[in-house]
Amino acid sequence: MKFLVYGALNIDLIFSVDHIVIPGETEQCASLEKSSGGKGSNQAAALAKAGMSAHLAGKIGNDGAYLLDMLRSFGVNTDLVSVWEGDTGRALIQLDRNGQNAIVYYPGGNGAVVPEEIEKAIGAFGEGDMLVLQNEIPHIGLMMRKAKERGLAVCLNPSPCDEKIESLPLEMTDIFFVNEIEGASLAGMTGGGGPETILERLVGRFPASEIVLTLGKEGALYGYRNTRESGAILDYPVVDTTGAGDTFTGYFLAARARGFSVKDALALACRAASIAVSRKGALGAIPGAGEVF
Ligand code: RIB
């Protein structure tokens, strides 16, 4: 089984702040670091580190060449990442003293992916493979349709969640990874109702899809037909939560592909995410298989 992750590669700029600024406020930060991320990069790296055949497709500028070196060193196949004349995507990350973040994202090359590239990339995969998507690149509806035509399973992490999501052929999704905000939005819940309610509504709305609901330090819930499972986060110090959800996604998919039960896959993915939050950065914080399995 091969995984094709079609997604963003970003240069992450981490501004370490005391607190996340409020409107109108200016705050001096303690440090600024150039780091590596993008939801596509992070998920592909987590899959590769977990021992999977992970292929990443996307687009960067010349300023992002170092991302490819890093991804390749983790075992990610980057043959389907093209280089354009513009910038690599940027994520401006405010990281507060509790390890929480707020992110502003500029797509750069990620926003310049075109349908011809999509046809070519997905055309190299088929029955038994999986397409893994997030919402930091355009044309994901087209990608979902092409993937289904070729017999791929589709994994969707609708993050960041925006108005575009409801225009997608969501019923084509085999497995969703959503956080509480994304889950509530897909469940049509504007206020009130806890994680269990979100999960039940999503299982009701998408009866053919597996639902994984990530809950930060509260762990994760899983729902599919009559199956319900949960996983707990381990007690690691929280340094930086950036990319923890991506680490969770990659490790859950890898654990399932390696034959672990849903319950064990949740536990392994929670462990991987717990380790990731104890380290600064996104791509560089993803643990190796030996630390997780
Ligand atoms: O999911 C985390 C990622 O989101 C960061 O690495 C950043 O690039 C943003 O896209």
Q: Are 159 and 135 in contact (CB under 8 A)?
A: yes
Report, as an integer, the average pLDDT of 3-9.
98
Ligand 1, residues 88, 93, 161, 280: which to mutate, most atoms within 8 A of Cβ? 93
| Residue 282 CA, closest ligand 1 atom number | 6
Is residue 42 in contact with ligand 1, taking CB distance under 6 Å? yes
Residues 97-120: what's their mean pLDDT? 96
Cα Rg of the chain (Å, integer): 18
Please name the residue whose Cα sits nearest to atom 2 of ligand 1.
243
Instruction: Judge contact between 130 and 250, C-beta under 8 A.
Output: no
Give yes or no for residue 105 having a pLDDT over 90: yes
- Residue whose Cα lies nearest atom 1 of ligand 1: it is 243
pLDDT of residue 191: 73
Render pLDDT for 124-143 as a digit per residue (tens, 0 to 9).
Answer: 999 999 999 999 999 999 99
**Interior/surface letters 87-123, b for 16+ CB within 10 angstroms, e for the rest:** bbbbbebbbbeebebeeebebbbbebbeeebbeebbe
Residue 270 predicted with pLDDT over 90: yes
91 neighbors 103 (Cβ within 8 angstroms): yes
Which residue in 192, 212, 225, 253 sits closest to 48, CA to CA? 253
Ligand 1 lined by 137 (C-beta under 6 Å): no
Angle formed by the axes of helices 244-257 and 39-49, nearest 10°: 40
Q: What is the pLDDT of residue 236?
A: 95
What is the DSSP annotation of 23-67? TT-----SEEEEEEE-HHHHHHHHHHHTT-EEEEEEEE-GGGHHH
Atom number, ligand 1, closest to the C-alpha of residue 159: 1
Average pLDDT over residues 109-129: 97
**pLDDT given for residue 190 in this prediction:** 79
CA nearest ligand 1 atom 6, residue: 37
pLDDT digits (tens, 9 = 90+) for 18-52: 999 999 999 999 999 999 999 999 999 999 999 99
Q: Does 37 sit in the ligand 1 pocket, CB within 6 Å? A: yes
Model pLDDT for residues 145-204, shown as the tens digit of each residue: 999 999 999 999 999 999 999 999 999 999 999 999 999 999 999 777 899 999 999 999
Name which residue sits closest to atom 10 of ligand 1, judged by CA: 38
Collapsing DSSP to helix, strand or coil, 155 comes out as strand
Ligand 1 lined by 8 (C-beta under 6 Å)? yes
201 lines ligand 1 (CB under 6 A): no
Contact in structure between 60 and 67 (CB atoms under 8 Å): yes
The answer to whether 142 touches 123, Cβ cutoff 8 Å, is no
Give the whole-number percent of the chain exceeding pLDDT 70: 100
> Within 10 Å of residue 85's Cβ, how many Cβ atoms?
8
Query: Hunting for tokens 């990874």 — which residue is that?
Result: 177
Q: Which domains, from first to last, does the chain contain? A: 2-9+38-88+109-292 (3.40.1190.20)
pLDDT at 210: 98
Could you read off the pLDDT of 224-243 as tens digits, one per residue? Answer: 999 999 999 999 999 999 99
Task: State which of 60, 242, 246, 283 you would mutate to test the pocket of ligand 1, scoring each by most atoms of that ligand within 8 A of its C-beta.
Answer: 242
Q: Is 10 in the pocket of ligand 1 (CB under 6 A)?
A: yes
Candidate of 39, 88, 110 to mutate for ligand 1, largest count of ligand atoms within 8 Å of Cβ: 39
Contact call for residues 132 and 120 (beta carbons, < 8 A): no
pLDDT tens profile 189-230 = 977 789 999 999 999 999 999 999 999 999 999 999 999 999
Distance from C-alpha of 205 to C-alpha of 200, rounded to nearest angstrom: 9
Q: What are phi and psi of 74, to 5 degrees?
A: -90, -5
Q: Tell how far the Cα of 200 is from the centroid of ligand 1, in angstroms.
A: 28
Can you tell me the distance from the alpha carbon of 4 to that of 153, in angstroms, rounded to the nearest whole number?
Answer: 10
56, 78 contact by CB (below 8 A):
yes
Output the pLDDT for position 192.
73
With the C-alpha atoms ordered 114, 120, 126, 128, is the resulting torsion angle positive or negative? negative
